[in-house]
Amino acid sequence: MIDTTNPFILRLRRCGRLDAQDEAWLLEKTRERKEMPAHRDLKSEGEKPVCVHIILEGLGCRYKILPDGRRQITAFLVPGDPCDFPVFLLDQMDHSLCLLTKSVVATIDREEVDDALTNRPLLTRAFWRSTLMDEAILREWLVNIGRRNAYERVCHLLWELFVRHALVGLTSERTFTLPLTQVDLADSLGLSAVHMNRTLQRLKSEGLIGQTGRSLTILRPEALQASASFDNRYLHTRSGTG
Amino acid sequence: MIDTTNPFILRLRRCGRLDAQDEAWLLEKTRERKEMPAHRDLKSEGEKPVCVHIILEGLGCRYKILPDGRRQITAFLVPGDPCDFPVFLLDQMDHSLCLLTKSVVATIDREEVDDALTNRPLLTRAFWRSTLMDEAILREWLVNIGRRNAYERVCHLLWELFVRHALVGLTSERTFTLPLTQVDLADSLGLSAVHMNRTLQRLKSEGLIGQTGRSLTILRPEALQASASFDNRYLHTRSGTG
DNA sequence: CGAGATCTTGAAGCACATCAAATACCGTGG
DNA sequence: CCACGGTATTTGATGTGCTTCAAGATCTCG
pLDDT number for residue B242: 46
- In whole angstroms, C3 C1' to B106 CA is 65
Cα of A30 to nearest chain B Cα, Å: 24
pLDDT number for residue B239: 60
pLDDT of residue A240 exceeding 60, the answer is: no
pLDDT number for residue A239: 60
Q: Is the CB of B192 under 7 A from strand C?
A: yes
pLDDT of residue A9 exceeding 90, the answer is: yes
pLDDT of residue A49 exceeding 80, the answer is: no
Out of B91, B128, B145, name the one closest to residue A241 (CB): B91
Contact of B61 with B98, CB cutoff 8 Å: yes
The DSSP output letter for B32 is S
A111 and B CB contact within 8 Å: no
- In whole angstroms, C5 C1' to B148 CA is 27
- In whole angstroms, C19 C1' to B192 CA is 12
pLDDT of residue A55 exceeding 70, the answer is: yes
Contact of A163 with A237, CB cutoff 8 Å: yes
* Residues of chain B found within 8 Å of residue A239, distances taken between Cβ atoms: 91
Nearest chain B residue to A66 by CA distance is B229
What confidence category does residue A40 fall into, taking pLDDT thresholds of 50, 70 and 90? Answer: confident
Higher pLDDT, A82 or A44: A82
pLDDT number for residue A72: 98
Strands A171-172 and A96-99, bridge-based pairing = unpaired
- pLDDT less than 70: residues of chain B: 86-87, 239-242
Q: Which of A117-126, A178-187, B78-87 has the highest mean pLDDT?
A: A178-187
Window from A75-89, A166-180, B169-183, B214-228 with minimum mean pLDDT: A75-89
Nearest to B231, CA basis, from B130, B160, B146 = B160
Nearest to A158, CA basis, from A84, A100, A208, A108 = A208
Q: Is the CB of B191 under 7 A from strand C?
A: yes
Window from A32-41, A70-79, B185-194 with minimum mean pLDDT: A32-41
Contact A68 B125 (CB under 8 A): no
Compute the distance between CA of residue A214 and CA of residue A75 in angstroms, rounded to an integer.
20
Residues forming a β-bridge with A109: A51
pLDDT number for residue A184: 98
Q: What percent of chain A has pLDDT over 70?
A: 97
Cα of A60 to nearest chain B Cα, Å: 16
Out of B62, B90, B141, name the one closest to residue A236 (CB): B90
- Return the nearest residue to C8, CA–C1': A197
Cα B29–chain centre separation: 20
